[in-house]
Amino acid sequence: AQKVTQAQTEISVVEKEDVTLDCVYETRDTTYYLFWYKQPPSGELVFLIRRNSFDEQNEISGRYSWNFQKSTSSFNFTITASQVVDSAVYFCALEGRGAQKLVFGQGTRLTINP
Amino acid sequence: KAGVTQTPRYLIKTRGQQVTLSCSPISGHRSVSWYQQTPGQGLQFLFEYFSETQRNKGNFPGRFSGRQFSNSRSEMNVSTLELGDSALYLCASSLGASRPAEETQYFGPGTRLLVL
């Protein structure tokens, strides 16, 4: 069975602080894909990043960075110099080869206070 | 390019009624997936369609059904509504040709269903 755990239910920080959202996953597949999505109050899930299981390179996109470690089955997401617009619920998701469906974590509600 | 669109955006129904939700994928996308989001259960996969065929199904009762048309548009139907069906229903589309998971699923804004 596949499972994604986001242990942090809610995080609240002050603007300009760095914040890391944790994601731990379980899968028996050797090929799988990991995702992060952002859900603003409007409800739409906004795609942020996809990473396949053979690519452990960390990625940076502007203020966003992702750290993928197969050894600890983690795919953490860091926002540097957070802004109020980053306030949203963030979901980590896993898709195994052949699964044709995303398995989501419970989400982390991030609040950035001015 | 237009994104995934879902109609209606909001819906109020009473127990026992049925409801049909619609999803139009991104142009050129042939795979459509549906997810249910509730505060208690989070985001759960309902089913996925590709070329008018259901390729995968989640653990939901038979009251939940779907279909896909030749233009890739998809509908989801819930019959005999229960209070617990109140949720945000999200549709996602992807190219679909090289599934699984070699493409990204892009989500629509969702349909918020309230069952009274």
Q: Closest Cα of chain A to B14: distance in Å? A: 23
Residues in chain B: 116
Chain B residues lying within 8 Å of A50, measured CB to CB: 104
Confidence of residue A101 (pLDDT cuts 50, 70, 90): confident
Identity of the amino acid at B100: P
- Whole-number pLDDT of residue A17: 97
- Whole-number pLDDT of residue B91: 96
With CA atoms as reference, the chain B residue closest to A98 would be B100
Cis peptide before B8 (omega within 30 of 0): yes
Mean pLDDT throughout B32-53?
A: 94
- Whole-number pLDDT of residue B104: 84
Query: Is B73 in the A-facing interface, judged by CB distances under 8 Å?
Result: no
B97 has pLDDT over 80: no
Nearest-by-Cβ selection for B100 from A44, A46, A97 = A97
Share of chain B above pLDDT 70, in %: 94
A64 has pLDDT over 60: yes
Q: What is the mean pLDDT of chain B?
A: 92
Closest Cα to residue B109, out of B1, B18, B47, B21? B21
Query: Is A38 in the B-facing interface, judged by CB distances under 8 Å?
Result: no
